[in-house]
Structure 1
């Protein structure tokens, strides 16, 4: 069996046993440096990364094919890419860059299979008179329009 296919198969077998974890990315470099990025419904622990690494390494023969393996969790700097990741972050503030380069920030209120709904909160000028009024608006955004979505980090 081809090296890369074997790695993918071992990883998918591990994830089939650990249904609380899911794959975000699997990268292979030209020199067979493998990077696995995982996420989980309740986060990813160091032990989860070790278990995934062992599931791959203990079933591969380094004498047959040498490689390096790095298993990590998706950090805050990693964009959200799957509906499952969005679902895990319900109620959190997101910074979203749309395909047309528009930037939006809002609270993630709903996650569907084809779109998300953000609650946008902002101030706008009153229609009559001086001053501003607070506005709260729901905005549905299809996944196809999202170029990059990050959890907003607030201090």
Structure 2
């Protein structure tokens, strides 16, 4: 049985990434001109801090140089966290996005945009936004029903802790000059 270079690299890097408390999400080797590019994507339940990525990148580079896993040719190493357009493919991806709006394509080709309210080992409890002033509706979707899923970016989402109404915001704006001078 043959293993690809990406699979061999995953086997080499997974223990190193796990030591940092991160999850190895993806390892991809692609041609980039005369060089190759090694993309390593990591994530965690608490997100990924820039300092952790920088330290992990140095550690990965050292391991790759010590083992000659990338061969003799030049390569570019890129270590990053997943982007917002990453597909949600495992239960941990959905868990990390609890409370966020997601777009699902179900196996029956139905498309559904809903907020993840809770999840368990079998599936998701969702809140489907109401249409034309109607109240949101709960819906259950099993993981086995999901063909594709991605996070929907919300630019105007109100935070859970944001219970400030417009009047409070207006009052805060009138004091803004004093706050700037004090800072």
Question: Does the alignment reach a TM-score above 0.5?
Answer: yes
Q: 1:135 and 1:45, CA in 2 relative to 1: closer, same or farther beyond 3 A?
A: same
Q: 1:99 and 1:48, CA in 2 relative to 1: closer, same or farther beyond 3 A?
A: farther
Higher helix share: 2
**Deviation for aligned residue 1:118:** 0.9
Q: 1:136 and 1:48, CA in 2 relative to 1: closer, same or farther beyond 3 A?
A: same
77, 84, 91: which is aligned to 1:83?
Answer: 91
Q: Single out whichever of 85-94 and 2-11 deviates more from structure 2.
A: 2-11
Specify which structure has the bigger relative contact order, considering alpha-carbon pairs within 8 angstroms and separated by 6 or more residues.
1
Say which one has the larger Rg.
Answer: 2
Higher strand share: 1
Kindly report which structure 2 residues correspond to 1:1-155, keeping only aligned pairs within 5 A, or say none. Answer: 4=6, 7-19=9-21, 21-29=22-30, 32-61=36-65, 64-66=71-73, 67-123=75-131, 134-155=134-155
TM-score calculated relative to the size of structure 1 = 0.76
Q: Which runs of 5+ in 2 are unaligned?
A: 156-183
Q: Which runs of 5+ in 1 are unaligned?
A: 124-131
Kept in 1: contact 2:129–2:137 (CA 8 A): yes
